[in-house]
Amino acid sequence: MSGANSLTPFLAGSSLIHALDARVKVPLTLAFILTVSFLPFGVWPVYVLLLALTVSAALLSEIGLARFLRRSLLALPFALAALPLLFTIPGEALARFSLFGLTLTLSGPGLVRFASIAVKSWLSVQAAVLMAATTDLPEMLLALRALKLPRLLAAVIGLMWRYLFVLVDEAGRLLRAREARSGSREGAPRGGGLAWRARVAGGMAGSLLLRSLERSDRVYTAMLARGYDGEVRSLPHPPLSARAWGILAAGLLLLALILFLSRWMVA
């Protein structure tokens, strides 16, 4: 189960961010991501301001700044999808390259557009990482239900996350079984050659699919036997305190002001 536990992004703690109600953290996170997505391209002072906000929140959460930044780097490979913008946005030419007989022109507006998309993606993932590290999944789902997320969608998200651990558990069993059946000679690599490994990997993938489906059926049958009807039951949540409402209102107002500032800078 250690492999499954390593998948959990939540880090238990007693910081101010951990103690904040999930019904405040979830709307603020969504509002932050929407604000970042609506920012104009190239407003670097605003990007720095938002980065300061996320880093400050990470420091308050006590999850470790290095761990926070390392997890947020997940966004950078996806930003490579915007790489063609470097050469397709018209504007002042900064450099020219020849690649496979094609001449590519790096433009200034294209560079600004690509860098802005990369930074905005990074900031959005930072907000998501911070919420996931300080909010347990059941609390997050309850907060989404409080925001009127459809019951079916909340159930799909919860079951998808839980079945991920089922897949990891089944994959671990298959790997241990393969290791137990893979003999080796002294000075020779453990197992067979590349063709043998490819054949075994293909068989393991098919077996993993079948075993996961069978186990998911057993899990779902057990859930039905215990009265599951698509809704996760919980004790009624107390109403939000005045302090929580104040934090939510102040956060939304700050994000609105940042968005207005960014629009004013490019006007």
What's residue 76's pLDDT?
Answer: 80
- Give yes or no: residues 175 and 221 share one domain: yes
**Range of 205's domain?**
157-181+195-234
Using the predicted structure, report yes or no on whether residue 2 has a pLDDT greater than 60: no
Does the pLDDT value for residue 1 go beyond 50?
no
CA distance 4 to 8: 7
Q: pLDDT digit string (tens) for 103-124?
A: 777 888 888 899 999 999 999 9
26 versus 181: the higher-pLDDT residue is 26
Q: Both 72 and 121 in a single domain?
A: yes
Same domain, 125 and 217: no
Helix ranges, the chain (H): 2-5, 16-19, 22-38, 44-61, 65-72, 75-79, 85-88, 108-134, 137-146, 151-180, 194-225, 242-266
Same domain, 162 and 263: no
* CA 235/CA 239 separation, integer angstroms: 12
Question: Based on the domain organization, do 162 and 247 belong to the same domain?
Answer: no
Residue 127 lies in a domain: yes
Residues 43 and 128 in one domain: yes
3-state secondary structure of 103: strand
Number of domains in the chain: 2
Whether residue 101 sits in one domain with residue 83:
yes
pLDDT tens sequence across 128-176: 999 999 998 888 888 888 888 888 888 888 888 878 877 887 788 877 8
Domain contains 186: no
The pLDDT value recorded for residue 137 is 86
